[in-house]
Structure 1
Amino acid sequence: MKTILVILGFICVLGLVISRSQRKEDDPLKNHKFAVVKTEAEWRKILTPEQYKVTRQRSTELACSGAYWKNHEKGIYKCVCCKLPLFDSKTKFESGTGWPSFYKAIHKDAILEVPDDSFGMSRTEILCSRCGAHLGHVFDDGPRPTGLRYCLNSVALDFEKDAK
């Protein structure tokens, strides 16, 4: 049994390495110039350990653990790393996933969509277009009018409440 688990683990790791190496060869971001560029040390200085892990190392917070998945206040959600406005509360909806979900970005150029084949799944990762922060993923099972569900990590966001 241990041998089978070791072999399965090796196969999973090998698959991740292959998918990462394939992503680098045809990386749609290779020609994108991020306006905000910092060293890993600089990011670590301004972000909490959890923010760094999610936004810079492409991790995911636990479902139902983030500050914004049940937030119903009006305002703007910004990138926690560079403060670029990303999503308006007017487009937020209850997806039942445990993560804040939106059907539309503030502006089509605010986010970048990148193929993500990690963990044996085919998904579309979303990044902040200004600094490259990992925000979450987008799926095609959202509500009208777009049919999209931008599923975000709360820890990748700052919320600016409407002044009114």
Structure 2
Amino acid sequence: MNNTVFDPIAGIASERDAVRAFIDVLRREQRALQQADVSVLLPLAVEKASHAQQLAGLTEAREQWLGMSGSLKDQGDMERRLADHPTAAMAWQELLQLTETAHRINEINGILVNQRLRYNQQRLSALQAAARGLHNGLYGSNGQPQIFSGGRRLGEI
């Protein structure tokens, strides 16, 4: 859209639809994080990056259009610019709501990622402690098995 004249109706509608698609990816990511389905996280990350790149291009085209009038100061400038385009103004309001939704879902996903990371770090620490106990010797000097006696027990958090 950078080399053509920006059509606010089509441009903002495209941006709104792109945010909807991005939200869909975020929701799928959230389900995968909640279900600990890590197998789909990498493909989702690639898809999410692609959508983010598309959104950046659409946003840039809109900002260039807005900047041509010399008004790029605040949200009110956009609303004034769309006063003659009621369809675009409605799409703009939807876009604002959708971006807020995307922001909230992305924040929740970040929390879920941090929780999953903490959980995995705790599990790894427990396994490392168990492995240290095994390296101290499986059998005592009398030939009998030694019971693990240090750190956390396997399965404890």
Superposition TM-score tier, normalisation by shorter sequence: under 0.3
Point out which structure has higher relative CO (alpha carbons under 8 A, 6+ apart). 2
Higher strand share: 1
Higher helix share: 2
Please report the TM-score for the alignment, with normalisation by the length of structure 1: 0.22
Please report the TM-score for the alignment, with normalisation by the length of structure 2: 0.23
